[in-house]
Amino acid sequence: MNLPWRRRWLTSCAGWLAAAASWPGRAAGPLVQAASAIETPAPLARVHVDGQGNLLGVTAGGAVWQHRGERWRPLGEGLDPATPLASGQGRSAGRALDGGLWRLEQDGRSQIDSSVRLAAHAGLLIQRAGVIALIQGRNGGEPVQAVRLAPDAAGRWHEAARGSDSLLPDATPVVFDPAGRAAEGTGARAGAGTIAVFAGPDGQRYRHGALGDEIEATRLLLLDPLSLQPMAELTLPEPYVFEDMAPRPIAWRGGQALLTMRAGPLGGQLAIVTCDGSAKLTLAALGPPMGSRYRWLAPSTDGSALFAVHTPHIGGVLHRYRAEGDRLLSQRLASDLSNHQNGQRELGLSLWFGAGLMLPSQDRRQLQLFDSRGSGIISTSWTLPAPVVALRRWVRAGQPGALALLADGRLSWLAAPTLPS
């Protein structure tokens, strides 16, 4: 073999390998990139992006920091890092370490109201009419109920309304409008910004514990946003539960529906719940069950496309779903992925960028992007210095991207990927 011909042959092979690396479904190969580090004042246990795009970080000890203009400033102490934060209407809110309501107002002032006792791990919902929260009974044995906390004429916060139903202790309430209209915090009927929340806690039917405890929901409620009284409900018969914490509103046949996961003797299955004109909740479509008890799947949606990672703790297989009548048919796309850490309540381990779905690898040390319009991996992926425990969309210095909170408390950032046309 003469040298010029050999060089041409090696160059051709290198070009062929580079092209193969970018084929759909192929590993990223040499195009793997490293995410950039973001300096933090201390290791963080939770991150949140508020309505103005500012980054909030909470340490394991409860110190709160705000990242704004590439600088961190302290906001105080006493915030519970194990409970999600929420933003809306110009404020952010969370649970204080003593169970009180922590608020950050638009002018930068933070305050803790210790007159209430919020349920640990439960999410909040901020609306014009106040903050919707879940309240824990004083003695710990009373049911967890929904309350609406709001300021009076003098600016003092108080309990303006309380629901009567026993809710899932770590549920997160979400706004849901079956008609698909954007009506937040107004109206008093189904279809005008109602609140969807899991209820009927049960610790015996399905003792799996994938989401932090063995208490699962047996009911899904629609609550009036002002009175917090039930307007519609769906109760699962034994032995089924909703192995989930927050339903996901999706576009569905001209309106909206709720995407969740039902679990039973044959494991988990994707489920879509709809609300008809009589305010009745119905299981409108179901995917095939996983096949055996305690097999779980973690849904992901951009509000339209339906995806889920099957057994995210064991092999992690990504599936795409499509509806056919009352059935959800699944297509296997890729394996060795995970959008959930076993035993944790953090469900935000996937991000959407247009038609692109970003997911961690099984060891959570790499992020990969899938094109929801096709079946392959986009050629670029990102390596992380430690396993990711949370992902958030965040615009940094005018550039959209993904923020990754790592298991050791560090932060990594990567610019938003662009899908090929």
When pLDDT is averaged across residues 6-30 and rounded to a whole number, the result is 38
Phi, psi of 6 (to 5 degrees): -65, -40
User: How far is it, in rounded angstroms, from Cα 273 to Cα 232?
Assistant: 12
* pLDDT of res. 203: 94
pTM: 0.89
Mean pLDDT of 294-309: 96
- The CA distance from 376 to 283, in Å, is 31
Neighbours of 379 (CB within 10 A): 21
Q: What is the largest CA-CA distance in the chain?
A: 90
Please, what sign has the CA dihedral across residues 148, 152, 155, 159? negative
CB 94 within 8 A of CB 113: no
| pLDDT, position 136 | 86
**Which of 279, 282, 260 is CA-nearest to residue 177?**
279
Mean pLDDT value of segment 103-117? 91
Dist. CA 298–CA 281, nearest whole Å:
22
Confidence of residue 7 (pLDDT cuts 50, 70, 90): very low
Q: What is the rounded average pLDDT of the residues 401-413?
A: 97
Distance CA 173, CA 366 (A): 31
- pLDDT value for 287: 98
**Per-residue confidence (pLDDT) for residue 12, from 0 to 100:** 39
Give all domains of the chain, ordered by start, each with its CATH number.
Answer: 40-162 (2.40.128)
Q: What distance in Å separates the CA atoms of residue 3 and residue 416, rounded to the nearest whole number?
A: 43
Look at residue 140 and tell me whether its pLDDT is greater than 70. no
Q: Which one, of 37, 41, 71, lies nearest residue 58 by Cα?
A: 41
Helix (H) or strand (E) holding 179: none
How many C-beta neighbours within 10 Å does residue 113 have?
16
- Residues 42-52 have pLDDT tens digits of 999 999 999 99
Bridging pattern class, strands 297-301 and 306-310? antiparallel
Mean per-residue pLDDT, 43-66:
96
Contact 128, 182 (CB under 8 A): no
- For residues 89-102, give the mean pLDDT: 96
Over pLDDT 70: what percentage of the chain? 87
pLDDT on residue 375: 64
Cβ-based neighbours of 398, under 8 Å, separated by 6 or more: none
Mean pLDDT of the chain: 88
